Chains A and B, each alone.
Chain A
Amino acid sequence: QKEVEQDPGPLSVPEGAIVSLNCTYSNSAFQYFMWYRQYSRKGPELLMYTYSSGNKEDGRFTAQVDKSSKYISLFIRDSQPSDSATYLCAMSARETSGSRLTFGEGTQLTVNP
């Protein structure tokens, strides 16, 4: 069983929709949670980062962490065609050697105009 499972998608939504992207994890040592956005043929770009349970908002994006359920989500409000990309969740534990991250496999999102 993988330590991080991410809804595989692909996901296709109309412009303006609310998008929910989700990951579950099994390692209770994970303390830091990240979402990356990767456009085609580009490197992943850090979108949001949080370390506590609850919600963190940044513009149209909200990251939600539920440590008791080992579940994280990224919500995108008023989705735009420019949001079309692959979204990767990632997480880390303080004691991991080399500060390695564990990634989900990514969810491909297409927002249709």
Chain B
Amino acid sequence: SQTIHQWPATLVQPVGSPLSLECTVEGTSNPNLYWYRQAAGRGLQLLFYSVGIGQISSEVPQNLSASRPQDRQFILSSKKLLLSDSGFYLCAWSAGFETQYFGPGTRLLVL
């Protein structure tokens, strides 16, 4: 069966510091991968998606970037965090257009 991992689970970072969140998927090959952000009490905002190694599409221009160095690894990064980057970050994978499966999420607080 497929499993999706995210780490860290929680992160508190100062403004201006760098960020690296990691997501890995097990049990499937060539998945589509997604990064979402969810503000408290709000819906999901798609940040990036990837259909293959090195292929990144950005949905929202912002302070973040994404990379996919391996087939089942997706990384969300920032060089300098802003207060507005605080939120709940979710990674998801899909095999096609029918459904997506989410990881446990990373709660980021920028102070």
| CB pair A49 B90 closer than 8 Å | no
Number of interface residues of A (CB under 8 A): 27
Q: How large is the interface on B (under 10, 10 to 19, 20 to 34, 35 or more residues)?
A: 20 to 34
Interface string of A33-52 (1 = CB under 8 A from B): 01010000111111001010
Q: Which chain B residues in 67-95 approach chain A with CB under 8 Å?
A: 88, 90, 94
Interface string of A18-46 (1 = CB under 8 A from B): 00000000000000101010000111111
Q: Name the residue of chain A whose CB is nearest to the CB of B104.
A: A43
| CB pair A41 B107 closer than 8 Å | yes
In the assembled complex, how far is the CB of residue B77 from the closest CB belonging to chain A, in whole angstroms? Answer: 20
Known: A32-B99, A92-B98. A43 touches B90 (CB 8 A): yes
B51 CB contacts on chain A under 8 angstroms: 98-99
Interface string of A43-82 (1 = CB under 8 A from B): 1111001010000000000000000000000000000000
List B residues at the A interface (Cβ < 8 Å): 32, 34, 41-44, 46, 49-51, 57, 88, 90, 94, 96-105, 107
